[in-house]
Homo-oligomer: A and B are copies of this chain.
Amino acid sequence: MNIHAKRIEDMRYLLSSKNLDAVLVTQPKEIYYFSGFHQDRTAILITKKRAFAVLPKMFLDHFKQTASFIEPLVYENYHEEVLKLIKKENLKKTVFDPSLESYAEGKFWISSGLKEFSGLVSSLRMIKEGEELERVRKACKIAAQTFKIIKPKIKTGVKEVEIAAEMEHIMRKLGASEKSFDLIIAFGENSALPHHETSHRKLRKNEAVLLDFGCVYGRYCSDITRTFFNGKPSEEFLKVYSIVEQSQKAGVASCLEGKKGREVDAVCRDIIAAKGYGQYFIHGTGHGVGLQIHEDPYLNTKGETILKSGMTVTVEPGIYLYGKFGVRIEDTVLVGKKKAEPLTR
């Protein structure tokens, strides 16, 4: 069975278990998830028995080639066509995700009798299996290999933007379709800005280098950060690095089925806090990685999602000393029943 068709089956199982009649899917990445067809201006409606795509005429031929297991309907007016279908199929409880529809859209769906229901598709997407897990693995391997290739080229005098361009080029040569986000290449005091914008700054002797990057392979993302020192590291850098390293290692090891996102966050945070650097760890510990670079589950102080085997998440604690340097270490990690597996090494 086609992997996308199987996911429609999985969704049907979910619909039954939640006592729902149908779910409306409108985000391009989620349309891809269920059909293999990546487009906007399209909706997929999955019912307990059938699956429909409501799409503009311009996509029809292409859609039929890609997703023969979904019945396509061409719309003139998008909203009217969706409502006509819901009526025709007599779907009493059709739901949409309130965090994925705009307020304007959601208000219209609610006024038309649909209900909001959070995280239905996300609960499937969080678990990576088969081909999609292989793609995440490959995206991670490419990123890890890219670090090995670029590291010897990072020398005093190079610019952040030059390293970013070179890394993108390497990732593509290794098979990636693109970067998974704008690379953060930060030298010296720039490394203390967690979301630094890669600039024309040149690397000087005896300063920190932070590389936060990733790529897309077969639509799936990877995410990795490495920090090191160009020259002879200062005492302070060595100390901070060692704390972050310890924190990250413990965090990775705790990515086990049954843990909550906030428990992994606490593992990382407590180690940094115990060493007196708590106030300098100014972001969450990690996030899910898949079709999106940031997706469920989130590993932060509020993360209530219980980790399950097959989830792929980042673990990326950091310490940022503004005006001096920052250290962040990040791997994309596969959650396991007994053992977490870092994929970006």
Contacts and interface: CB of A to CB of B under 8 A. Distances in A.
Interface of A: 38-39, 56-59, 61-62, 96, 98-107, 110, 116, 118, 165, 172, 192-197, 282-283, 320, 322
A131 B192 CA distance: 30
A118 B107 CA distance: 14
A163 to B, nearest CB: 15
B98 A102 contact: yes
Contacts of A106: 102-104, 106-107
User: Which 5 A-B pairs give the minimum distances between C-beta atoms?
Assistant: A103-B106, A98-B104, A98-B103, A58-B282, A58-B283
A195 B283 contact: no
Given A100-B102, A101-B102, A195 B107 contact: no
Contacts of A96: 103
A96 to B, nearest CB: 8
Contact of A103 (B39, B58, B103): B103
Given A58-B194, A172-B165, A99 B102 contact: yes
Q: In the complex this chain forms, how many copies of it are found?
A: 2
Contacts of A38: 197
Contact of A62 (B57, B110, B116, B196): B196
Contacts of A107: 98, 103, 106
Contacts of A322: 61
27 contacts: A38-B197, A39-B195, A57-B283, A58-B194, A59-B194, A61-B192, A61-B193, A62-B193, A96-B103, A98-B102, A98-B103, A99-B102, A99-B103, A99-B104, A99-B105, A100-B102, A101-B103, A102-B102, A102-B103, A102-B106, A103-B110, A103-B116, A104-B116, A104-B118, A106-B106, A106-B107, A165-B172
A53 B107 CA distance: 28
Contacts of A282: 56-58
Contact of A59 (B103, B104, B192, B195): B195
Contacts of A99: 102-105
Contacts of A103: 96, 98-99, 101-103, 105-107, 110, 116
Contacts of A172: 165
B62 A195 contact: yes
Nearest to A37: B197
Contacts of A195: 39, 58-59, 62
A61 B102 CA distance: 31
Nearest to A161: B177
A74 B282 CA distance: 11
A37 to B, nearest CB: 9
Nearest to A110: B103
Contacts of A110: 103
